[in-house]
Amino acid sequence: MLGKLKSLAGNGLVQKAVDTMAPSLSEHLEKVKSLDPAIIHDDEQFTSKVINPAYLAVSASTSGVASLVPKFKEKFHAAFLHLRDEIIHVEDGKVSLAEGYQSKIGPALLEGLKK
C-alpha cells in the first residue's frame, strides 16, 4: 500500500515538473535548428550543447519542483534524448523540428522521465 502511494506521489511530481518545464524547453529546441546535424547525432556533443543548458534553465525555472523528483538530472537527460528522437529531424543535412512540436514536448518528456 505504501509503495503504491509513493508511486502515485512520484508520478504527480513528475507530471508537475513536466507541466512547469515544457514551455521553457521550446526555446531550447528552437536553437537546435542552427546546429550541425553531426551534433544532433552525437550524444556527447548533444548533451553539452543542448541538454546541459536546457537542464540549467529548467532547474532554475521550476522553482525547486524538479529537485523533488528522484534522480531528476539523470531522468531529464534520458528524457531529452527521447525528446530528440521524437521531435528533432535531420534530413538532407538540415535540422528541423516536427510540425506542431510544442504540443509533443510534454508527452514525450513525460514518457522519457517515467523511464
pLDDT tens column, 39-76: 999 999 999 999 999 888 887 776 666 666 678 788 88
Q: Which residue type sits at 19?
A: D
More confident position, 112 or 96: 96
More confident position, 70 or 102: 102
Which residues touch 79 (CB under 8 Å, ≥6 apart)? 108, 109, 111, 112, 113, 115
Q: How many domains does the chain have?
A: 1
Domain span at residue 102 reads: 2-113
Q: How far apart are CA 17 and CA 36, in angstroms?
A: 30
